[in-house]
Amino acid sequence: MILTGYDREVYEAAGRVLRERRRTAESQAEKRRAVFYSVCPEAEELERRLAKTAVLAAKAVLSGKNAKDQLERLHEENRSLRSRISDLLRSVNMKAEDLEPIYHCEKCRDTGYVDGRMCSCLKTLLKEEAYNRLNALTPLSLSTFEGFSLDYYPDQPEHGSGRSPRSAMREILQNCRKYAETFSIASSQNLIMQGATGLGKTHLSLAVANEVLRKGYGVVYCSVNNLISRLENEHFGREETGDTGSLLESCDLLILDDLGTEFRSSFSVAAIYNIVNTRLLLRRPTIISTNLSMRELQDRYSDRFASRIAGNYVRLMFLGHDNRMQKLLYQHTKK
């Protein structure tokens, strides 16, 4: 993935992180140096003399007069000073490296660039910040597996199904837990959560996102409606160019919530197909939640789209009645 084209705010946020890392590393090095000088006052004077030899060496080269003899003398003085400083460091169980900043990234020294090229640490920061911005309006912290109650699902079989919603949802809950606990980019399947409004699809998809994020993976969670608005704004130049499309296609786990609630247009249909299809080609796991049946997906998007879903996604069928009403009734009976 080419990690370019992020919003200016994303670059600024990543830059702030790098500056803080660099400031912290240099500040801590100064503190260690101050401690060293306090217990070995001689060391401070030795380092001043060491710095002076470098200045004198430069002057000797520029003057050209007896430069060789002067440089040899300065080199010997430099070696002697360094040796004495090393002895002092050993006497207090320190190393020369302790006096230098310990950067978060030694390759670029927390500048973000190596020989004029973007360092991998800055690429990672940009990616993480972009994820955070996409997930900013999502109530990730409010949805957990522990907070998912089966009490709101009827324990009697639904007409024609031969199975109670509670039994079906217990199995789905277990499957989602296992999916999150064993998540792997290489082996995790794609999921499509289907069922009526208010049955817990968003709650469980957010719970999966929470767990997978805790495992250190990059997760993008977004409602399809908000996603299409963002992509349209970027595509038609209504906001500063971003790299949302690349993030959606390449993140470790993409969760598309409420597929089918977005305003339908040729742009939205094409954008959704391209995201889903590209992730299939890249073998990146995706979770989709929708109120639509397979037939309705086919009618709304295309035969080709429905075929890609049917052939490459595990279907989780949510049963029951709108839980928001069930919760109100349940809470009322508890009073």
Query: Could you tell me which residues are beta bridge partners of residue 314?
Result: 191
Q: Which of 10-19, 72-81, 166-175, 184-193 has the lowest mean pLDDT?
A: 72-81
Q: What is the pLDDT of residues 14-59, one digit of tens each?
A: 999 999 999 999 999 999 989 888 888 888 888 888 778 777 777 7
Dihedral in degrees, nearest 10, Cα atoms 119, 255, 182, 124 = 10
Q: Which of 59-73, 110-124, 267-281, 305-319 has the lowest mean pLDDT?
A: 59-73
Q: Where are the domains positioned within the chain? A: 8-121, 137-334
Does residue 249 register a pLDDT over 80?
yes
Name the nearest CA neighbour of 305 among 280, 330, 283, 331: 280
Q: Which of 104-118, 157-171, 266-280 has the lowest mean pLDDT?
A: 157-171
Work out whether strand 113-114 and strand 117-118 pair parallel, antiparallel, or are unpaired.
Answer: antiparallel
Concatenate the DSSP letters of all residues of 208-253 into one string: HHHHHHHTT--EEEEEHHHHHHHHHHHHTTSS----HHHHHHHSSE
Structure confidence at residue 135 (pLDDT): 66
Residue 291: CB atoms within 10 A of its CB come to: 18
The percentage of residues in the chain with a pLDDT greater than 90, rounded to a whole number, is: 47
Structure confidence at residue 205 (pLDDT): 94
For residue 279, the one-letter residue type is R
Q: What is the pLDDT of residues 128-165, one digit of tens each?
A: 887 777 666 566 666 889 989 999 898 988 776 778 99
Q: What is the pLDDT of residues 56-105, one digit of tens each?
A: 777 767 776 667 777 777 777 878 888 888 888 888 888 888 889 999 99
Residue 117 host element (H or E) = strand 117-118
> What mean pLDDT comes out for the span 295-306?
96
Structure confidence at residue 141 (pLDDT): 61
User: What CATH class has 137-334?
Assistant: alpha beta
- d(C-alpha 166, C-alpha 158), whole Å: 10
Both tokens assigned to 86: 């090393």
